[in-house]
Structures are given as structure tokens and as C-alpha cells.
């Protein structure tokens, strides 16, 4: 029986994905893994908003998605970035299909806070039929994190949370957060394995800083009864070699981690 993997690629790493990264994906596919990729796109969205002179409002550090901004988000995520990633996978001899969370009713969401955040959503349900259909035919679904409400209003969804919701719904064996470093580093050395309590401790000590904080917290928050291990890996180099993953394993208890 095939194992299933969900890869989440943040917007900041999308334009830096290396040939080694795509070779790792190809090796996994050759070793009979089902692979789903979910991607973000923050930097490109910011760039286009700037080019179009569209001003943003922020609430507690998060951008409010107005109707005008939602149009830019849809163009960037579903258009430019989704198709660019599909093309790169195709160049690596991988069959990929680009979709959004709105396609096939994949992601249903509700407004997170319409007053403060506008058209930003919280995933409430995942219908995996379209993913399963593509996986069964040997395709890699590449998902842009856009969802729809029960009455078909488009919503912008956090890519980390979309990936986590999809991994849970598919009962994925692994969820990987792809970053610009090998994983969590302590004194410049890779931390092979860590649990949520240890992550909180390293954040308090200032060892985990900057952009790694939300990634580490997202990895911790994704752990569940079925998904007992999440990984933080690099998009700039090999993350899968000879059947082994290279990066930081995040698991509830070290002794519970699958080797």
C-alpha cells in the first residue's frame, strides 16, 4: 500500500527550490509515495500589491484581505505561482496538476473575522475526492490555498493550516514543511528530532528565532493521533536520500517517533 506525503512550500522558498529538491521529490515518487504539494505566495503577493499601488490594512500583524486584494491573491496563487511550480515539477519528469482549494469542493472555510481580516478563512472541512482521483492516476496535486464558503465565496487561507488540514483528511503518513534551511538549528547544528515542549523551550531561549518560529509552531500544531511525525526540511538541497528524510523531525514524544 502506498504511503502519502503532504509537502508545504512557503512563498519565500518557492523561487529558491533547487534541482536537488525536485530530485528528492522524484525519488519519492519512484519509491511509490503519493505526494500532495500545498504552496503559499506571500512575497509575490506583496510585490504585485506594491506594483499596483494597492495599500494594505493590518490587524494584529495580519493583512486584511479586501475584495481588491483577494483578486490579487487569486491571480498570484492560482495563476502565476501554481503554474510555475507545476512546470518545474514537469521539468523534473513528474506528472503534476495545479488546482486550488476551491476546485472539486476540496476546501470549505468560514470567515476568520470578516470585520478585521476581510476575506480570510478558517478551513472547516476537506473533501479529498479530487486529490484521491489525481493520486490514483499517478499525478501530484499542487494546491493553492484558496477555499470557498458554503455559499461559494472565495477566501484566502493560511497555507500552513491548509496543508495541515489536507494531511489530516488524507490520513497522510508524513507532513513536510519546506524551508530555506535544513531544519531547526542549535549552535549551527541540525536538531534531528524534537518535541513541542522542547520547541517552546528553544523559542524562549532565543535559539529558534525569526521565520523559523511560525514554521516550528505550525509543525507542532499539525501533530495528531494519526500524524505522529512532522518534518522541517530544506528546499535548497536534498531532503530524501536512500529512503531516509533529511531534516528535523517534530513528534509528540521522541520514543513514539517512527524510525
For this structure, is 249 an active site residue? no
For this structure, is 84 an active site residue? no
From the list 10, 11, 40, 118, the catalytic residue is 11
Instruction: Count how many Cα atoms sit within 13 Å of the Cα of residue 207 in the half-sphere of its side chain.
Output: 16
The residues, ordered by sequence, that sit 6+ positions from 190 with a Cβ below 8 Å of its Cβ are 182, 183, 184, 247, 248
Tallying the residues shown for the chain, one arrives at: 259
Task: Tell me the Cα Rg of the chain.
Answer: 18
Q: How far apart are the C-alpha atoms of 41 and 192, rounded to whole Å?
A: 28
From the list 8, 88, 174, 249, the catalytic residue is 8
Question: Residue 48 in contact with residue 72, Cβ under 8 Å?
Answer: yes
Closest of 116, 217, 108 to residue 157, by C-alpha: 108
From the list 42, 104, 105, 221, the catalytic residue is 42
For this structure, is 42 an active site residue? yes
For this structure, is 160 an active site residue? yes
Bridge pairing between strands 58-59 and 62-63:
antiparallel
From the list 44, 103, 160, 173, the catalytic residue is 160
From the list 88, 174, 182, 215, the catalytic residue is 215
The H or E element spanning position 32 is: none
For this structure, is 189 an active site residue? no
Catalytically annotated residues: 8, 11, 42, 160, 215
Amino acid at each position: 500500500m502506498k504511503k502519502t506525503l503532504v509537502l508545504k512550500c512557503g512563498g519565500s522558498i518557492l523561487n529558491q527550490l533547487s534541482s536537488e529538491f525536485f530530485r528528492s521529490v522524484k525519488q519519492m515518487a519512484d519509491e511509490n509515495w503519493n505526494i500532495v504539494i500545498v504552496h503559499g505566495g506571500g512575497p509575490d503577493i506583496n510585490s504585485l500589491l506594491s506594483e499596483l499601488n494597492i495599500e494594505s490594512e493590518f490587524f494584529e500583524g495580519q493583512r486584511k484581505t479586501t475584495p481588491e486584494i483577494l483578486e490579487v491573491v487569486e491571480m498570484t496563487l492560482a495563476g502565476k505561482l501554481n503554474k510555475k511550480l507545476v512546470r518545474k515539477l514537469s521539468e523534473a519528469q513528474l506528472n503534476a496538476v495545479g488546482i486550488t482549494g476551491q476546485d472539486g469542493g476540496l476546501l470549505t472555510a468560514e470567515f476568520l473575522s470578516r470585520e478585521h481580516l476581510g476575506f480570510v478563512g478558517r478551513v472547516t472541512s476537506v473533501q479529498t475526492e479530487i486529490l484521491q482521483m489525481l493520486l490514483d492516476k499517478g499525478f501530484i496535486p499542487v494546491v493553492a490555498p484558496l477555499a470557498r464558503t458554503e455559499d461559494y465565496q472565495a477566501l484566502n487561507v493560511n497555507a500552513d493550516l491548509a496543508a495541515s488540514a489536507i494531511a489530516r483528511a488524507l490520513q497522510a503518513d508524513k507532513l513536510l514543511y519546506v524551508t530555506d534551511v535544513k531544519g531547526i538549528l542549535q549552535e549551527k547544528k541540525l536538531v534531528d528530532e524534537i518535541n513541542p515542549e522542547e520547541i517552546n523551550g528553544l523559542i524562549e531561549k532565543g535559539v529558534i528565532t525569526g521565520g523559523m518560529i511560525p514554521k516550528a509552531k505550525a509543525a507542532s500544531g499539525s501533530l495528531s493521533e494519526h500524524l505522529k511525525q512532522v518534518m522541517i526540511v530544506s528546499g535548497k538541497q536534498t531532503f530524501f536520500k536512500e529512503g531516509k528524510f533529511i531534516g528535523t523531525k517534530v513528534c509528540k514524544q521522541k520514543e513514539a517517533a517512527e524510525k
